[in-house]
Amino acid sequence: MKRTFLFLLAAVLLGAAMQSCDTEDNNGNNNGGNNNGGGNGNGTTSSVQWVDLGLPSGLLWADRNVGASSPEVYGNYYAWGETAPKGVYNWSTYAYGKTSRTLTKYCTMSNFGHTDNLTTLEASDDAATVNLGGGARTPTNDEWQELLDNTTSSWTTQNGIPGCLLTASNGNSVFLPAAGGRFDSDFGYTRERGYYWSSSLYTDYPDEAWLNCFNQGGMGMIRQARRDGFPIRAVR
């Protein structure tokens, strides 16, 4: 990314990757299927290691997902602002609004529900904080971007699980398994794409929040409906 002659190529690849990271069609349907990956959606987080990637902020990144027993295990899937996994991920089961226009918390526009102008998850609604403690939390959109800006990403396989390896200039790295997501009761895109929540609301459409998305073509930040279930990678 630091080489000028690669800039246009990188932009094209990232644009294609982000387009392919869309999870829904215009009717809100998804093409999720069964979870055929080697990950465990019901794991228990144990022995989390905190990785120093030499980031300007000094943030440390967890070496595994919340609810995962090792770095390549998928861990738990959470709707945005919820702190426990569940069997069905849609508006009818969502904690902070039963439709996209009846939000009860984290809302910046009155036509989407009760306006409170909260734009970042509070500690009580942060799955990383609640499940890990010790100063752990879900990274913000800006903190995800800092990670992307200061590491080199490569699609790889770790212990049979495909995903993205992010390597810093100090030689340290973190592996993000391509765990896909949960849509209604289905698993979608496992072993094909990774989606990881940030703690940041998408303020223009507050029924959505920012998340990191990647596949073999690239990685970047997109927005997605808060009702859907995705993994969380903690920072502290």
**If DSSP states are collapsed to H, E and C, what string results for the chain?**
CCCHHHHHHHHHHHHHHHHHCCCCCCCCCCCCECCCCCCCCCCCCCCCCEEECCCCCCCEEEEEECCCCCCCCCCCCECCCCCCCCCCECHHHCCCCCCCCCECCCCCCHHHECCCCCCECCHHHCHHHHHHCCCCECCCHHHHHHHHHCEEEEEEEECCEEEEEEEECCCCEEEEECCEEEEECEEECCCCCEEEEEEEECCCCCCEEEEEEEECCEEEEEEEECCCEECCEEEC
pLDDT (average), residues 60-82: 98
Residue 10's pLDDT band, with cuts at 50, 70 and 90, is very low
Confidence of residue 22 (pLDDT cuts 50, 70, 90): low
HSE value, Cβ hemisphere, 13 Å, CA-based, for 73: 16
Q: Give the mean model confidence (pLDDT) for residues 34-48.
A: 51
Confidence at residue 7, expressed as pLDDT on a 0 to 100 scale? 31
Contact predicate 208/202, CB 8 Å: yes
Residue 46: the pLDDT is: 63
Q: Is the pLDDT of residue 140 over 70?
A: yes
Check pLDDT > 60 for residue 135.
yes
Q: Which of 58, 64, 62 is nearest to 50 (CA)?
A: 62
pLDDT at position 34: 31
pLDDT at residue 226, rounded to an integer: 98
- The mean pLDDT value for 174-195 works out to 98
**pLDDT (tens digit per residue) in 124-133:** 999 999 999 9
* Per-residue model confidence as pLDDT tens digits over 76-119: 999 999 999 999 999 999 999 999 999 999 999 999 999 999 99
* Parent domain of 108: 4-235
In the chain, how many domains are there? 1
What pLDDT is attached to residue 28? 35
Q: How much is the average pLDDT of 187-209?
A: 98
Q: Which amino acid is at 77?
A: Y
